[in-house]
Amino acid sequence: MAKRIDVSGLTAYYGSHKAIEDISMTVEPRSVTAFIGPSGCGKSTFLRTLNRMHEVTPGGRVEGKVMLDDEDLYGTGIDPVSVRREVGMVFQRPNPFPTMSIFDNVAAGLRLNGSYKKSELAEVVEKSLKGANLWNEVKDRLNKPGSGLSGGQQQRLCIARAIAVEPKVLLMDEPCSALDPISTLAIEDLIGELKERFTIVIVTHNMQQAARVSDRTAFFNLAAVGQPGKLIEIDETERIFSNPSVQATEDYISGRFG
């Protein structure tokens, strides 16, 4: 199958600190890939290299190549802002724009992208909120602030905001770690629905979650503290959790370390 994302030889630095080294992997369209591994092994850093957010951190720098379909994301003349439109991101803590209404939160990205008629905006906002399984809960209070919603609702609002601009890829960095179990299940169900339309890459510290939501799982690890994180293996999720190729993966998933 054609690859949506094709990473080769990706190394990322914070100043002189090499955080991740020589990562290569591919991601197929309309799939969910989970990143697992101990804290500090570079999962978030690697995720942020996939939409050029890593370089926003002072000293943040990348070597290697990331292809999104036929586009070299670090190629000359590529606008990082347009990359972030194609590769959206959802963060650990729901971060709706606090002073904006629910409607405006979802419309925010669209408004940045150009001019829409009011009716067009309303259509996309409704479609996105439906896509994020939030419409029924908020349709009667679209003009109330997004910050008035529960944590789980705020996270779905952030997902609605992210999908409103129709990205190819959705990156999620521990999107459920601040949520209660019910809200977590709602997001997991949603991920299953969203993968019909989007390619999803999710970092999770919860291995049951990785097993539940993902098609493929990538295990990252560090040889020692201070060493760069590396991709140890990536495979079908079922295989990673039943019969991984590498002993370190086996040790991690069976809870022997990390």
CA 255 → CA 123, 204, 224, 225, distances in Å? 47, 15, 18, 19
Tell me whether strands 199-203 and 32-36 are parallel, antiparallel or unpaired.
parallel
Q: Which of residues 219-258 bind ligand ADP (CB under 6 A)?
A: 229
Closest distance to Mg ion from the beta carbon of 203 (Å): 6
| Interacting partner of 237 out of Mg ion, ligand ADP, none (Cβ under 5 to 8 A depending on kind) | none
Q: Which two tokens stand for residue 62?
A: 């990348």
Q: Is 43 in the site for ligand ADP (CB under 6 A)?
A: yes
Q: Is 42 in the site for ligand ADP (CB under 6 A)?
A: yes
| Interacting partner of 131 out of ligand ADP, Mg ion, none (Cβ under 5 to 8 A depending on kind) | none
Rounded-to-integer distance, Cα 116 and Cα 121, Å:
6
Q: What are the backbone dihedrals phi and psi of residue 179, each rounded to the nearest 5 degrees, phi first? A: -110, 155
Q: Is 40 in the site for ligand ADP (CB under 6 A)?
A: yes
Q: Is 41 in the site for ligand ADP (CB under 6 A)?
A: yes
Q: Is 10 in the site for ligand ADP (CB under 6 A)?
A: no
CA 160 → CA 153, 199, 210, 240, 252, distances in Å? 10, 15, 22, 31, 34
72 SS3 class? strand
Closest distance to ligand ADP from the beta carbon of 150 (Å): 26
Among the listed ranges 43-51, 112-120, 131-139, 244-252, the one in contact with ligand ADP (CB under 6 A) is 43-51
Q: Which of residues 44-83 bind Mg ion (CB under 5 A)?
A: 44
Q: Is 139 in the site for ligand ADP (CB under 6 A)?
A: no
Closest distance to Mg ion from the beta carbon of 22 (Å): 19
Other CB atoms closer than 10 Å to residue 244's CB: what's the count? 20
Q: Is 17 in the site for ligand ADP (CB under 6 A)?
A: yes
Rounded-to-integer distance, Cα 61 and Cα 12, Å:
6
Among 8, 24, 56, 57, binds ligand ADP (CB under 6 A): 57
* Beta strand ranges found along the chain (DSSP E): 5-14, 17-27, 32-36, 60-68, 71-72, 87-90, 169-173, 199-203, 216-222, 229-236
Return residues touching ligand ADP (CB under 6 A): 14, 17, 19, 39-45, 57, 229
